Amino acid sequence: MTLQQLKYAVEVANKGSISEAANSLFLSQPSLSAAIKELESEIKLTIFLRTNRGVTITLEGTEFLGYARQVIQQVELLEEKYISSVPSKQRFSVSTQHYAFTANAFVDLVKEFGADEYECSLCETKTFNVIDDVKNLKSDLGVIYLSSFNEPVITKLLKDGNLTFSELFTAKPHIFICRDNPLAKHEYATLEDLEDFPCITFEQGEHNSFYFSEEILSTIHRKKSIKVSDRAALVNFLIGLNAYTIATGVLPSFLHSSDIVAVPLQTDETIRVGVISRKDYIPTRLGEIYKAALERIADELK
């Protein structure tokens, strides 16, 4: 197995097509196809399934490519530090549950890094996907929460994936509602207060277990329930339907102005928000900056 083969495999995955990858690598399609087959034969693993529309990545291939990307990134860092006089493009990726403060930290990351070239991604996604992305090295870091209810299941998943959880802050649950909602002026809200309002939750796809819910108290029956996949839709529904969602109460005003307010929810539950990473993860400069930005936000909440 060579570094060149790893780069070839990653480029095919990025392009989704052997022919397009061959063009970008200035190789003939047969040569690239042969190199990929030779790699698959050596590692005794099928990375790609060939179709008329290109290639799809197998589950085993996804894990392999995660390691390949990490190897390539570390080699680039070594070359930058000890060989090249021109800094290579820095890459960083984070997967997170739907938290506004993770976007806030991402803004700080880009501003502070300030290099001429970088490639960063912030993926707000389902809980299982956050864990899976970090486990398979698609993302450097992930941001999730633990509660007394989900902790046994999530902790086992983290352990099985060779992942660690580093707590950022503990929050008391709040409801996010429109400022015109009748509950907006309440000192706190109770579950009984919420019975007649639509409850907005984030859709979790095929892993739609109560343990993967992004909202605590997920097992409680709601008369009116709406699932969404992004924060923009959630905010629109909170405003347009006088709905609510349960979250940490951390809501940067620069993202949603004063249209949304946070009201404490009367419950004994707590939300422990933290960063997950692989135990063998070696932080890049971008990873260090992003983690520091999250920690600054956490300090402001304490």
pLDDT in tens, 17-63: 888 888 888 889 889 999 999 999 999 999 999 888 788 888 888 88
pLDDT digits (tens, 9 = 90+) for 267-289: 999 999 999 999 888 888 888 99
β-bridge mates for residue 264, sequence order: 174
Assigned token pair, 40: 């698959």
Ramachandran region of residue 16, left (φ > 0), alpha (ψ -120 to 50) or beta? left
Token pair recorded at residue 175: 């409801």
Percent of the chain whose predicted confidence (pLDDT) is above 70: 94
What does the pLDDT read at residue 85?
Answer: 60
Predicted pLDDT of residue 252:
54
Predicted local distance difference test score (pLDDT) of residue 255: 44
Residue 257, pLDDT above cutoff 60: no
pLDDT for res 111: 87
pTM confidence score: 0.75
- Which residues on adjacent β-strands are paired with residue 66? none
Distance set, CA 38 to CA 7, 16, 34, 41, 62 (Å): 14, 19, 6, 5, 18
Could you tell me if 24 and 11 are in contact, meaning their C-beta atoms sit under 8 angstroms apart? yes
Each residue of 95-108: pLDDT tens digit? Answer: 999 998 898 899 98
Q: What is the pLDDT of residue 51?
A: 82
Q: In what order do the strands lie in the sheet with 199-202?
A: 225-228, 199-202, 244-247, 174-178, 260-264
Torsions phi, psi for 161 (to 5 deg): -95, 10
- Domains in the chain, CATH or no CATH each: 3-67 (1.10.10.10), 86-162+272-301 (3.40.190.10), 171-271 (3.40.190.10)
What mean pLDDT do residues 225-254 have? Answer: 85
pLDDT tens for each residue of 234-245: 889 999 999 999
Whether residue 256 is predicted with pLDDT greater than 90 in this model: the reply is no
Residues in the chain: 302
CA 95, 236, 273, 227 torsion-angle sign: negative
At 193-226, the pLDDT tens digits run: 999 999 999 999 888 788 999 999 888 888 999 9
